[in-house]
């Protein structure tokens, strides 16, 4: 049995052909064309049809296609309601793909929810039945899995970790328009802001980047922190403290087995952990302080595995 997976993000898209075990046979990554969503979907279809031709597979042998979308999704109707970064609104994704590919079973899902479903089926979900998923990259996204099921909430917004308030005294503006959100303090964007501020006021820190022959960034700052630079370590600790405040709120409400972290910043999870643990110690109910904080078992392609999982 084969399935298709279209992982459509705000900047890049991956189209893949896989089987029911999650094994990927064909895969292609390319930039997302945000100018016209339907045109971009057509491009995904052409690539997928090319995979089928290469392998001599008929559309009738495809049991379904999982489609990740970068925004709010009406999963039942298969409509992308709104994708802020791409500027897409009310796109009938399921209907369009179904007609173009002659495949009935098209399953659409928000990309962060899809990561959590992928983790549940192919990753740490084999060990844990209740967990929070957080994508920490430019922003902070989240999803909630409780007793082996994704929680959607009344309007599909459940698990919006990014907008838990974590700073009340000197809050930063969040892209959502509010102040003090986790996304404004515990994201890759926040990390870059702290690095930039520190470089401007700290000549020794600036010189450390020069010695490294790299410009200041999250990646180069992680290198400094790993080589023992205490200023760099303190910046990661501060971002980690904010993440920990968000995780503490979540843990107090849902008592998860684990909180699983994906996204670009998760590669530096070891550097964030001292800050995360400090906040958990302070803000979590005593019996739940030791909640496991783990990087995704699915690595960089968690979302693609999610698209395969929803298709199955």
Distance between CA atoms of 166 and 162, rounded to whole angstroms? 10
Note the Cα 298 to chain centre separation in Å. Answer: 11
163 binds Zn ion (CB under 5 A): yes
Q: Which two tokens stand for residue 105?
A: 């079973």
Total of residues contacting Zn ion (CB under 5 A): 5
Task: By CB under 5 A, name the one of 115, 181, 222, 224 that touches Zn ion.
Answer: 181
Q: C-beta of 160: minimal distance to Zn ion in Å?
A: 8
CB-neighbour burial class of residue 285 (10 A; exposed 0-12, middle 13-18, buried 19+): exposed
**Interface characters, 186-225, with Zn ion (x: CB under 5 A):** ----------------------------------------
Tell the smallest beta-carbon distance from residue 239 to Zn ion (Å): 16
Give least dist CB 109 to Zn ion, A: 22
* Shortest distance (Å) from residue 183 CB to Zn ion: 5
Q: Could you identify the residue written with the tokens 């006021």?
A: 201
Distance CA 14, CA 32 (A): 9
Kindly state the smallest distance separating residue 164's Cβ from Zn ion, in Å. Answer: 9
Among positions 241-280, residues that touch Zn ion (CB under 5 A) are: none
Least distance between Zn ion and beta carbon 162 (Å): 6
| Alpha-helical runs (H) found in 87-217 | 93-101, 111-122, 182-185, 188-201, 203-212
Nearer to Zn ion, 178 or 197 (CB): 178
Nearer to Zn ion, 176 or 212 (CB): 176
Q: How far is the CB of 163 from Zn ion (least distance, A)?
A: 4
The rounded distance, in Å, linking the Cα atoms of 271 and 62 is 43
Q: Give the residue ranges of DSSP H helices in 2-133.
A: 37-55, 93-101, 111-122
Among 3, 41, 69, 174, binds Zn ion (CB under 5 A): 174
Handedness of CA 222, 228, 230, 231 (dihedral sign): negative
Is the distance from CB of 19 to CB of 62 less than 8 angstroms? no
Of the listed pieces 21-29, 179-187, 246-254, 258-266, which binds Zn ion according to CB under 5 A? 179-187
Q: Which stretch binds Zn ion (CB under 5 A): 94-102, 137-145, 163-171, 217-225?
A: 163-171
Q: Does 40 bind Zn ion (CB under 5 A)?
A: no
Nearer to Zn ion, 163 or 245 (CB): 163
Q: Which residues, in sequence order, are CB contacts of 15 under 8 Å at separation 6+? A: 4, 5, 6, 7, 27, 28, 44, 47, 48, 51
- Does 176 interact with Zn ion (rule: CB under 5 A)? yes
Which spans of this chain sit near Zn ion (rule: CB under 5 A)? Answer: 163, 174, 176, 178, 181
């Amino acid at each position: 049995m084969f399935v298709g997976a279209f992982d459509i993000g705000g900047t890049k898209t991956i189209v893949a052909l896989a089987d029911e075990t999650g094994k990927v046979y064909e895969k292609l990554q390319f930039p997302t064309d945000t100018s016209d969503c339907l045109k971009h979907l057509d491009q995904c279809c052409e690539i997928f049809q090319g995979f089928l031709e290469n392998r001599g597979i008929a559309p009738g042998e495809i049991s379904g296609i999982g489609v990740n979308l970068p925004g709010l999704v009406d999963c039942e109707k298969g409509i992308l309601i709104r994708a802020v970064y791409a500027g897409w609104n009310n796109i009938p994704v399921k209907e369009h793909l179904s007609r173009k590919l002659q495949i009935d079973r098209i399953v659409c899902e928000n990309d962060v929810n899809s990561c959590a479903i992928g983790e549940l089926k192919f990753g740490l979900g084999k060990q844990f039945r209740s967990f929070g998923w957080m994508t920490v990259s430019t922003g902070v996204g989240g999803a909630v899995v409780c007793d082996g099921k994704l929680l959607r909430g009344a309007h599909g917004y459940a698990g919006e970790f990014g907008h838990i308030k974590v700073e009340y005294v000197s809050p930063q503006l969040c892209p959502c328009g509010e102040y003090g959100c986790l996304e404004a303090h515990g994201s890759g964007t926040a990390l870059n802001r702290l690095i930039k501020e520190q470089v401007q006021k700290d000549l020794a820190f600036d010189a450390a980047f020069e010695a490294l022959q790299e410009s200041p960034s999250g990646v180069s700052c992680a290198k400094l922190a790993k080589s023992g630079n205490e200023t760099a370590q303190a910046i990661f600790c501060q971002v980690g403290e904010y993440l920990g405040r968000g995780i503490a709120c979540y843990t107090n409400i849902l008592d998860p087995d684990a909180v699983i972290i994906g996204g670009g910043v998760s590669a530096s999870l070891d550097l964030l952990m001292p800050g995360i643990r400090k906040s958990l110690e302070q803000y979590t109910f005593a019996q739940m302080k030791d909640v496991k904080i783990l990087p995704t078992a699915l690595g960089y392609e968690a979302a693609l595995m999610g698209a395969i999982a929803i298709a199955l």
